């Protein structure tokens, strides 16, 4: 394994790593590890990945499952379990074995974290309550999260202590209940305002018809979960259901990854394509009108665009004066793309400008989503025609966004004059907004 690590890392890579340093600084990631992954040989590598995240000032909360260990103990003692995943009724014998399994898994996690030099603590920051009777069936010792003490967890994180949360959680009276670890992780991510909820599983992700879904918008996931004919492994379904709840609770991303793969965490987080399934907020939810506080980020984007002459150079002051024209595309609280929408006198035509996407995100549909959004917004605002002036991206506007060549006469006289004076000799393109359906978001 160490030779694998040596191959994966060269000293010169450190320069490349620098750009990741500010990316998620001080963000909280909740990582839920299935019991089978804790006992997998790759777990030591996962802990090394967590140490890398910590070194980038990412705050990690760890939750572990116990399914595999519970089944193992039941086999050894010849006991029939009333439930494995903590979703069905938990009788006294199953509860007793679950406590044993949890102690074994926690110890194993602690050993690995200690070997990686990570400070950690098992905590009772979560309080449970009995699930009670569902459809007349008493779920006995099965619990669900009643309350998360976010203050304690944040205080631990601020002192560089990694909280480890087990799926045996005490209720108000101090009685232990078995809580499903997928649900536990979702509640933690929601309460802590985490940027990511990550499930490390023995599956290559969420599969639909045998194909792993790499990027899944929230609505598609919900449609999939409601589709009775979709065949999902119950263990994956449980994570998918919790991922959808996490997004409802404003966690921007949930990931379902194969924890058996070397480097799974870092690849998923920092690689452009990723490795497993990432569930994210619906695309249009990521585009919003710019606010004054975005001026610096917009200035930086415009500056990069102007370097290649793709965009008109704009000063910070110009951006501050026209920030209301800007729309931004946000990922994880960072602005990675923008576009402007400006009405021509009379409001029947609008100009789409400054369409720019950070090079790292090119080719992922961000540019076309910005243009699509601008078309719908322009139509909403009563415009009939959208005009784009381009010097280098005629192909993008025509092939990907269905614009057609326009004429200088499409522009109002003042705009024509300004264009002439700029010497940019831009191509005029236009899109008739009557071609859009009326289904506005």
Q: Which is nearer to ligand COA, 162 or 355 (CB)?
A: 355
Asked if 364 touches ligand COA (CB under 6 A), the answer is: yes
Asked if 402 touches ligand COA (CB under 6 A), the answer is: no
Beta-carbon contacts of 204 under 8 Å, excluding residues fewer than 6 positions away, are 212, 258, 276
Interatomic CA distance for residues 233 and 298, integer angstroms: 44
Q: Which is nearer to ligand COA, 362 or 417 (CB)?
A: 362
Judged by CB under 6 A, the residue of 319, 366, 383, 387 near ligand COA is: 366
Exposed, middle or buried, 292 (CB in 10 Å: 0-12/13-18/19+)? exposed
Nearest distance, CB of residue 363 and ligand COA, angstroms? 5
Q: Which is nearer to ligand COA, 86 or 305 (CB)?
A: 305
Nearest distance, CB of residue 383 and ligand COA, angstroms? 18
Q: At what angle do helices 234-248 and 218-226 cross, to 10 degrees?
A: 140
Q: Which residue number is nearest to ligand COA in terms of Cβ?
A: 367
Q: 113, 135, 136: which is closest to 54 by C-alpha?
A: 113
Q: Which is nearer to ligand COA, 164 or 366 (CB)?
A: 366
Asked if 368 touches ligand COA (CB under 6 A), the answer is: yes
Segment interacting with ligand COA (CB under 6 A) among 81-89, 155-163, 265-273, 390-398:
390-398
Interatomic CA distance for residues 160 and 329, integer angstroms: 32
Asked if 395 touches ligand COA (CB under 6 A), the answer is: yes
**Residue span 306-325 as binding mask against ligand COA, x where in contact by CB under 6 A, dash where not:** ----xx--------------
* Contact (Cβ atoms closer than 8 angstroms) between residue 426 and residue 389: yes
Asked if 356 touches ligand COA (CB under 6 A), the answer is: yes
Nearest distance, CB of residue 439 and ligand COA, angstroms? 21
Interatomic CA distance for residues 12 and 265, integer angstroms: 21
Segment interacting with ligand COA (CB under 6 A) among 127-135, 200-208, 235-243, 394-402:
394-402
Interatomic CA distance for residues 281 and 279, integer angstroms: 7
Burial 128-154 (b: 16+ CB within 10 A, else e): bebbeeeeeeebbbbbbbbebeeeebb
Contact footprint for ligand COA (CB under 6 A) = 305, 310-311, 355-357, 362-368, 390, 392-393, 395-396, 399-400
């Amino acid at each position: 394994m160490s030779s694998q690590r040596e191959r994966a890392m060269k000293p010169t890579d450190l320069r490349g790593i620098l750009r990741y340093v500010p990316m998620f600084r001080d963000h909280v990631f909740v990582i839920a590890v299935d019991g089978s992954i804790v006992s997998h040989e790759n777990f030591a590598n996962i802990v090394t990945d967590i140490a890398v995240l910590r070194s980038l000032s990412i705050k990690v909360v760890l939750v572990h499952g116990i399914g595999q260990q519970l089944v193992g103990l039941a086999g050894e003692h010849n006991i029939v379990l009333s439930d494995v995943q903590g979703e069905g009724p938990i009788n006294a014998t199953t509860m007793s074995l679950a406590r044993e399994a949890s102690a074994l898994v926690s110890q194993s996690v602690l050993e690995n974290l200690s070997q990686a030099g990570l400070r950690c603590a098992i905590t009772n920051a979560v309080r449970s309550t009995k699930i009670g009777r569902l459809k007349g069936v008493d779920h006995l010792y099965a619990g669900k999260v009643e309350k998360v003490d976010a203050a304690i967890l944040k205080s631990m994180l601020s002192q560089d202590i990694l909280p480890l949360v087990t799926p045996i959680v005490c209720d108000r009276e101090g009685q232990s209940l078995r809580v499903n670890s997928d649900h536990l992780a979702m509640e933690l991510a929601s309460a802590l305002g985490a940027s990511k909820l990550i499930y490390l599983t023995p599956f290559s992700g969420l599969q639909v018809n045998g194909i792993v879904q790499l990027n899944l918008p929230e609505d598609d996931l919900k449609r999939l979960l409601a589709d009775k004919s979709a065949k999902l492994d119950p263990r994956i379904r449980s994570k998918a259901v919790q991922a959808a709840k996490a997004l409802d609770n404003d966690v921007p991303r949930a990931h379902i990854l194969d924890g058996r793969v070397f480097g799974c965490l870092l690849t998923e987080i920092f690689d452009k394509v990723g490795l497993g399934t990432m569930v994210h907020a619906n695309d249009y939810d990521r585009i919003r009108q710019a606010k004054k506080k975005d001026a610096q980020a917009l200035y930086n984007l415009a500056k990069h665009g102007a370097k290649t002459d793709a965009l008109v150079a704009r000063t910070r002051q110009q951006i501050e004066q026209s920030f209301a024209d800007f729309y931004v595309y946000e990922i994880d609280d960072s602005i990675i793309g923008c576009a402007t929408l400006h009405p021509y006198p009379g409001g029947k035509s609008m100009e789409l400008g400054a369409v720019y996407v950070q090079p790292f995100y090119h080719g992922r549909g961000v540019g076309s989503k910005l243009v699509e959004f601008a078309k719908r917004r322009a139509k909403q605002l009563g415009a009939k025609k959208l005009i784009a002036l381009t010097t280098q991206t005629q192909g993008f506007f025509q092939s990907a966004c269905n614009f057609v060549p326009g004429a200088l006469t499409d522009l109002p006289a003042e705009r024509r004059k300004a264009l002439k004076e700029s010497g940019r000799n831009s191509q005029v393109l236009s899109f008739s907004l009557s071609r859009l359906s009326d289904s506005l978001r």
